[in-house]
Structure 1
Amino acid sequence: MLAKDLKRKEDIETPRGKLGVLIPGIGGAVATTFMAGVEAVRRGLAEPIGSLTQMGTIRLGKRDEYRTPRIKDFVPLASPDDLVFAGWDIYEANGYEAALFAKVLRREHLEPIRDFLETVQPMKAVFDRRFVKNLDGNHVKSGSSLRDLTEAVKEDIAQFKQAHGIDRCVMIWCGSTEVYLKPEEPHQSLDAFLKAVQNNDPRISPSMIYALAALESGIPYINGAPNLTVDIPAMVTLAKEKKVPIAGKDFKTGQTLMKTILAPGLKARMLGLEGWYSTNILGNRDGLVLDDKDSFKTKEESKLSVLEYILQPQLYPSLYKNYYHKVTINYYPPRGDNKEGWDCIDIFGWMGYPMQIKVDFQCRDSILAAPLCLDLVLFADLAQRIGMYGIQEWLSFYFKSPMHREGLYPEHDLFIQLMKLKNTLRYFMGEEQITHFGLDYYMNDLS
């Protein structure tokens, strides 16, 4: 895909009709908070706080004629009014019942939109307990092969589109973290992957079945968990063949968000790092899943990768070569969705004198993730209409472990990520880019 082949400004299709939002894990805390928030915004009961697409601005023009329109007024994005939700879950609870169970939103915020949430009825899920050991629901599809399950998901999508008059769709994974997988032979090529699906290979996870169904249906796929799903050569090849955008992985919300804000500051001031200890307490369903060591391993890999890429110890060995980095997550049911992340950061400055930074981020996991879901759905739909396909590196801003093309390093610095995202939008709308970091940051994504 070359930049010259993509649509620009007047050629970008105006979003028309309904945009289907397909959510594996639709009964979870993130998904129900996302849907409830969108409906509250549509009814004028809330503001879309945390959403870059809805509240963010973008600087345009030369120094003497700056303009700062809202992003939603600058780029032809779908409106939240256009979204229609559907999805799959291993539990039968409707959207209202699931939101009550999640205990993220208070009842007084759910009651005014209860009629909407009760219409969200999950479809039977693709589920294999080998991949999520601490959950066990009975609202599950049956099939003689993984290919049968893939076709069943594709049929669900087709029926949803027909029943609701859906013009186009985006699939976003809001399900649980699966056990840790390394890329193996079935993941290395599309032929090997499709053969593995046909042969019920145990290295093909449920999230991969959803992604396969989405891509074969021409639907963009967003990976909100650290699962090895589309971050494999087979899926990248399929996305390119079907000309479909893919993005991921693992929503960047609490503690890792803080790291991508603080670490660039340490590096900018050339302050050294001796150690960074991070621990979390979390009591929602995500915390329960991560109480299994194999699922935690998947999350740990995602969270540990951030500092190395931001600090670049190979360039600054005296500052960052030997720092110690530790991450733990502890399941603590009384805390529910109100996650608490503690960071003890040991740094050193002039003449090697030690200093410390202490961070106690008492956040709400799903409250931080919900606006990311909205932005990613709208941006993935935009990418599809522009003609972008394959890995969407310009959406790295939203992820702990951003997908990137082979041979390139992932970008983790939150501020560079934001520049890349906005420069991509500027390019498509025919506006002058902000070149603090150079045009290469844009062209690397599209060439």
Structure 2
Amino acid sequence: MKMEKSPSLVISSPNIKYTDEYIYSDYEYEETLVTRNGDEVTARPIRKTLNIRTDRRVGKVGVMLVGWGGNNGSTFTAAVLANRHQLSWNTKNGKMDPNWWGSITQASTVRLGIDEKGCDVHVPMSHLLPMVHPDDLVIDGWDISPLNLAESMVRAKVIDFDLQQKLKKEMSAMKPRPAIYDPDFIAANQSAI
């Protein structure tokens, strides 16, 4: 099931103002100021007013991966593409559908309050504020390996074969930017034995 990309939550409060471009909010932050005078400790509550402005327009977010052609980079890219295109694939355990269950912003909910009946109301975390959806990430990176991402995905042996076949064409066109190879920056456990 694909989750909505745009937040639908509206806060009705004298401390919140919506415009087409921004959400303005005034927040009272309570803190305790502690002073010491010899053996006496005095705690005094203080309040600070924070004025917060949130842009309602979600921009593009790019991810530049060091070692894009490695196991993590190719698997991350495959996961984003499988979700973006809503690809299903067969495994030895049956059909799998893409989801963002591992994403705190896409799979988590937050208790917002109670409804008229006194029941808890939860909303997806992604609906609290305008935020980028993982399907919309722009991915790039560099690697010391000249392999394209489809070849890297096969080498990593993490993605199920059926999904590899569905992603092969798109990932073949993705090639990491060349990286500078300096053996002094390679960890001892990463060098060839």
Q: When the two structures are superposed, what TM-score results if normalisation uses the length of structure 2?
A: 0.60
- In structure 2, how many angstroms separate the alpha carbons of the residues matched to 1:128 and 1:69? 48
CA pair 129-70 structure 1, distance change in 2 beyond 3 A: same
Report the alpha carbon displacement of residue 125 of structure 1 after superposing the two structures with TM.
1.1
- In structure 2, how many angstroms separate the alpha carbons of the residues matched to 1:127 and 1:88? 11
- In structure 1, how many angstroms separate the alpha carbons of the residues matched to 2:72 and 2:131? 22
Q: Deviations over 1:358-416 (max 9, x none)?
A: xxxxxxxxxxxxxxxxxxxxxxxxxxxxxxxxxxxxxxxxxxxxxxxxxxxxxxxxxxx
User: Which residue is equivalent to 2:135?
Assistant: 81
CA pair 290-90 structure 1, distance change in 2 beyond 3 A: closer
Higher strand share: 2
- Of 78, 85, 97, 1:43 maps to 85
What's the secondary structure of 1:31's corresponding residue? helix
- In structure 1, how many angstroms separate the alpha carbons of the residues matched to 2:186 and 2:49? 41
CA pair 74-105 structure 1, distance change in 2 beyond 3 A: same
Is the contact made by 2:112 and 2:121 (CA closer than 8 Å) also made in structure 1? yes
- Of 154, 157, 165, 1:103 maps to 157
User: Which residue is equivalent to 1:23?
Assistant: 65
- In structure 2, how many angstroms separate the alpha carbons of the residues matched to 1:87 and 1:6? 38
- Give the letter aligned to residue 158 of structure 2: V
What is the root-mean-square deviation in Å for CA atoms of aligned residues?
2.8
What's the secondary structure of 1:61's corresponding residue? strand
- In structure 1, how many angstroms separate the alpha carbons of the residues matched to 2:129 and 2:154? 35
Is the contact made by 1:20 and 1:84 (CA closer than 8 Å) also made in structure 2? yes
Stretches (4+) displaced over 3 A: 3-8, 62-65
User: Which residue is equivalent to 2:8?
Assistant: none
> Quick check: 1:59 aligned with 2:101?
no
Q: Deviations over 1:119-155 (max 9, x none)?
A: 2211111342112145xxxxxxxxxxxxxxxxxxxxx
What's the secondary structure of 2:73's corresponding residue? helix
- In structure 2, how many angstroms separate the alpha carbons of the residues matched to 1:115 and 1:15? 32
Which stretches in structure 2 are left out of the alignment for 5+ residues? 1-28, 30-47, 88-97
- Give the letter aligned to residue 39 of structure 1: L
- In structure 2, how many angstroms separate the alpha carbons of the residues matched to 1:91 and 1:121? 10
- Of 48, 60, 75, 1:33 maps to 75
Higher helix share: 1
What's the secondary structure of 2:111's corresponding residue? coil
What's the secondary structure of 1:12's corresponding residue? strand
Q: Deviations over 1:280-318 (max 9, x none)?
A: xxxxxxxx52999xxxxxxxxxxxxxxxxxxxxxxxxxx
- Give the letter aligned to residue 109 of structure 1: L
- Of 49, 55, 65, 1:13 maps to 55
Is the contact made by 1:94 and 1:119 (CA closer than 8 Å) also made in structure 2? yes
Is the contact made by 1:22 and 1:87 (CA closer than 8 Å) also made in structure 2? yes
- In structure 2, how many angstroms separate the alpha carbons of the residues matched to 1:34 and 1:21? 11
Is the contact made by 2:113 and 2:120 (CA closer than 8 Å) also made in structure 1? yes
Question: For this pair of structures, how many residues does the alignment match?
Answer: 135
- Of 180, 190, 193, 1:289 maps to 190
> Percent same amino acid among aligned pairs?
32
- In structure 2, how many angstroms separate the alpha carbons of the residues matched to 1:290 and 1:69? 47
> Quick check: 1:126 aligned with 2:126?
no
Report the alpha carbon displacement of residue 36 of structure 1 after superposing the two structures with TM.
0.4
Is the contact made by 1:17 and 1:82 (CA closer than 8 Å) also made in structure 2? no
- In structure 2, how many angstroms separate the alpha carbons of the residues matched to 1:14 and 1:290? 47
Q: When the two structures are superposed, what TM-score results if normalisation uses the length of structure 1?
A: 0.28
- In structure 2, how many angstroms separate the alpha carbons of the residues matched to 1:73 and 1:39? 22
Is the contact made by 2:58 and 2:130 (CA closer than 8 Å) also made in structure 1? no
Is the contact made by 1:15 and 1:78 (CA closer than 8 Å) also made in structure 2? no
